[in-house]
Amino acid sequence: MTGRPFTFWRVLPLPGEAASSYFSRLVMDECAHLPELYASEIGINAIFRSEEVLERIFRLPISEQDKERLRYWTPLEKHGRIHLAGQVFGRDQFRWTRRLHCRRCVAETPYHRVWWHLQCFRACPVHECALEPLSYDLKKTGRWWPRFEHVVKERAVHVELGDAADTFESHIVRRLLDVSCQDSPSELSDFIECAPFVGRLLGNNRNPSIPPPSNKDWEVGYHALKGGLLPFEDQVRSWLRVNAPQSHAYLVRDLIGWAAEYLADEEELFDPEIDDLPNPMHVKISAIVRAECRRVLGR
Ligand SMILES: [Zn+2]
């Protein structure tokens, strides 16, 4: 099939909307078919790739600006990584199969926000509630097409984060929305990787074994890192004051317990053939923690 995949294109792509959600809404506006059925009728694979969904949609005479918006918000897989909104995420950070959403966001404007696919995204920053499992296709696994109660045709909606609390999730959304951001493409992914470690260290007292993961790890880590590495250094210093060393303290481990094993190696022998690139943020964090420990140990 080479012609247009739809006879109408009255719905418009929305901020944070990937091609799969937009496709579902185009189908809803067209007919009563389920999106997965419609997709298979026009030859899109059950395990669809973003590229092919975009390709079908781009056959429609929609504006270049809308195409650009869809391209920006549609995750593309390249070399085992997910490229989305100018950022690059690891495979374990983004899951197509994640079936969570904020019911209240969808009730206000029915479309699927792509950041709900990020594994670290647990609470809606707008409504301050936990994301919930989808209520349809409960037994299905794998990639899925979102479904909605009704079609929204307005251009409308900015993502309103105005009064939203300053949370880890609100940071992610703001960061993804920032089209002009000049940071390195892995900056957000590195941040997401570092936040729970930092949160678990600073949010607990010294412990020889690693404390169980907790939701607060993300928030504590986010607030410790959001201001950059200088304020982080201060927080490590005050944590070390609160968790004062015992008299026999000699090693970094004596000061920070379990976390010593999770610091990036100082003289890490890095082989680009075998190893993933070290997370530069984790390397910097580790250096700060080590330096503060040395200061306390007096060497
Ligand atoms: Zn919400």
Please report, in tens digits, the pLDDT of each residue of the chain (299 residues total).
557 899 989 999 999 999 999 999 999 999 989 999 999 999 998 889 999 999 999 999 999 999 999 999 999 999 999 999 999 999 999 999 999 999 999 999 999 999 999 999 999 999 999 999 998 877 777 889 999 988 887 776 677 776 678 999 999 999 999 988 778 899 999 999 999 999 999 999 999 999 999 989 999 999 999 999 999 999 999 999 999 988 888 999 999 999 999 999 866 666 666 666 789 999 999 999 999 999 999 87
Q: Among residues 16, 12, 35, 215, which one has the least CA distance to residue 117?
A: 16
C-alpha 125 to ligand 1 mean position (Å): 7
C-alpha 126 to ligand 1 mean position (Å): 5
C-alpha 90 to ligand 1 mean position (Å): 25
Please indicate, yes or no, whether residues 163 and 225 belong to a single structural domain of this protein. Answer: no
Please indicate, yes or no, whether residues 46 and 150 belong to a single structural domain of this protein. Answer: yes
Please indicate, yes or no, whether residues 57 and 88 belong to a single structural domain of this protein. Answer: yes
C-alpha 102 to ligand 1 mean position (Å): 5
Task: Tell me if 29 sits within 8 A of 40, measured CB to CB.
Answer: no
Please indicate, yes or no, whether residues 192 and 66 belong to a single structural domain of this protein. Answer: no
Q: What does the alpha-carbon distance between residue 3 and residue 1 come to, in Å, rounded to a whole number?
A: 6
CA 114 to chain centre: 9
C-alpha 68 to ligand 1 mean position (Å): 25
CA angle centred on 97, ends 169 and 76, rounded to 5°: 75
C-alpha 289 to ligand 1 mean position (Å): 36
CA-based R_g, the chain, Å = 23
C-alpha 238 to ligand 1 mean position (Å): 35
C-alpha 194 to ligand 1 mean position (Å): 25
Q: What does the alpha-carbon distance between residue 73 and residue 22 come to, in Å, rounded to a whole number?
A: 11
Q: What does the alpha-carbon distance between residue 187 and residue 200 come to, in Å, rounded to a whole number?
A: 20
Last residue of a domain, one of 177, 202, 228: 177
C-alpha 229 to ligand 1 mean position (Å): 31
Name the amino acid, one letter, at 254: D
Look-up of token digits 């999730």: 169
Beta strands in 91-204 (DSSP E): 100-101, 123-124, 129-130, 132-133
CA 278 to chain centre: 19
Total structural domains within the chain: 2
Please indicate, yes or no, whether residues 269 and 144 belong to a single structural domain of this protein. Answer: no
**257 DSSP assignment:** G
Last residue of a domain, one of 158, 177, 196: 177
C-alpha 103 to ligand 1 mean position (Å): 7
Q: 101: helix, coil or strand?
A: strand
Residue 4 in domain: no
Please indicate, yes or no, whether residues 205 and 239 belong to a single structural domain of this protein. Answer: yes
